[in-house]
Chain A
Amino acid sequence: MTYSITIINSEEKYSCEAEQTILNGMVQLGKKGIPVGCKGGGCGICKVAILEGEFSSKKMSRKHISKEEEKQGVVLACRTMPKSDLRLKALGVIKTAILN
């Protein structure tokens, strides 16, 4: 099953397999709307708010996704699989942090 994912920040659209994470789906099609980090639920860079649609998520670092956020559909894209078409907003920011 393939679903359509829309990133509202950039109005990018891509299709994603049901068994694929919405981050891997994006990366494979060369899209860049969600910043890509560790791909393991650990670093928090790919944080998104799912605005519309059904999905499931694997365990994510509590440092980056609180229980409250998880209830509200704020998740890490690297741990989230679509169960329908989705509209989402990218929240994470990647920054060069070596020279503070």
Chain B
Amino acid sequence: MAMTGVMRPGHVQIRVLDIDEAVSHYRDNLGMIETDRDAEGRVYLKCWDEHDKFSVVLREADEPGMDHMAFKVRAEQDLWRFESDLKKAGCNVERIQTGELSGCGERVRFDTPTGHVFELFATKEVVGNGISTTNPAPWPEGLQGMAAVRFDHCLLYGGDIDGTVKIFTEILEFDLAEQVVDGELQIAAFLSCSTKAHDIAFIRHEEDGKFHHASFLLSTWEQVLKAADIISMRDIPIDIGPTRHGLTRGQTIYFFDPSGNRNEVFCEDSYRYPDSPVLTWTVDHLGQAIFYHSRELNDRFLSVLT
């Protein structure tokens, strides 16, 4: 297997105002599976096709938003290599002990110039995806709601995206997959550590440390439409969609969890390889880059953040 270093998004820890309402949303609406609760009251969930124990951790707090996003690295030695390089780059770096998150190995936590906290880890308890690894069925029975396949990426907002992009590309070996530019100024950067269209994205914004959305994969456009039906049937606050993004080509719908954190479910976005060209959108096509059909910017989508 050629993939080395950072493999994929591992999990996101999200702050919520009411833990019970939040668990109902992520479990019953997104269709995630609750796998644990810890002494601090945090709740752990995974999407059905994830083998590791959790990809979302919910923590009750006074302010919604993102505590941290964590990436899984291929091997333990990657942790220590990245830890050293992140320190040299001037990030605040600390080690979080094994088991601080239930079932997760030692983590390397670091901050970025956009005011976000990220973590790397190499091991997490494996619970399986509910399907045998011998003669596997295509999907497990008994899935709920939108039946999200996996936690896919986050979009984050902050000021110095140049500095953060530099850390992700030069130290963590992500590739710039797609971008929006205003002349020389990069205003959005979509970064990939894999063959996905993006594993993390940043948009330039006046305030640091902001969380735009956590995104979850579906398989088909029909499943995106079904998600839209569920959003209306259950009176979930909708943001926008179903529609298509120009950026990444994803077919998408956005909505909010009960604490106002934005979620996306999407399908069929593009892919890349290390030799793929960087795709660039110019600011005069920003409307189309974001919403390919309406070609109109939407103030709420751009500025409502937690």
- List residues of A whose CB falls within 8 A of some B CB: 36-43, 45, 58-63, 78, 94-100
Contact A59 B17 (CB under 8 A): yes
Q: Check A98/B203 contact, CB under 8 A, given A42-B64, A63-B63.
A: yes
Interface extent on B, as a size class? 20 to 34
Contact B62 A40 (CB under 8 A): no
What CA separation (Å) do A89 and B58 show in the bound complex? 34
Contact A39 B260 (CB under 8 A): yes
Q: Check A96/B303 contact, CB under 8 A, given A38-B260, A40-B257.
A: yes
Ranked nearest first, the 3 interchain pairs of A and B with the lowest CB-CB distance are: A42-B260, A38-B260, A40-B260
What CA separation (Å) do A10 and B239 show in the bound complex? 25
For A58, the chain B residues whose CB sits under 8 A away are 17-18
Identify the closest chain A residue to B185 (Cβ): A99
What CA separation (Å) do A36 and B305 show in the bound complex? 12
User: Distance in Å from the Cβ of B200 to the closest Cβ of chain A?
Assistant: 18
Contact A37 B300 (CB under 8 A): yes
Is B259 positioned at the interface, with any CB of A under 8 Å from its CB?
Answer: yes
Contact A38 B63 (CB under 8 A): no
For A95, the chain B residues whose CB sits under 8 A away are 299, 303
Identify the closest chain A residue to B283 (Cβ): A99
User: Distance in Å from the Cβ of A39 to the closest Cβ of chain B?
Assistant: 4
Is B306 positioned at the interface, with any CB of A under 8 Å from its CB?
Answer: yes
User: Distance in Å from the Cβ of B163 to the closest Cβ of chain A?
Assistant: 16
Q: Check A42/B237 contact, CB under 8 A, given A61-B306, A96-B297, A96-B299.
A: no
What CA separation (Å) do A41 and B205 show in the bound complex? 21
Cross-interface CB contact of B286 among A36, A61, A98, cutoff 8 Å:
A98
Identify the closest chain A residue to B290 (Cβ): A98
Contact B206 A40 (CB under 8 A): no
What CA separation (Å) do A63 and B283 show in the bound complex? 31
Give 24 pairs: A residue, B residue, CB < 8 Å, sorted on A.
A36-B300, A37-B260, A37-B300, A38-B262, A39-B237, A41-B17, A41-B259, A42-B65, A42-B259, A42-B260, A42-B306, A43-B304, A59-B18, A59-B62, A60-B17, A61-B64, A61-B259, A96-B303, A97-B302, A97-B303, A98-B187, A98-B188, A98-B286, A100-B205
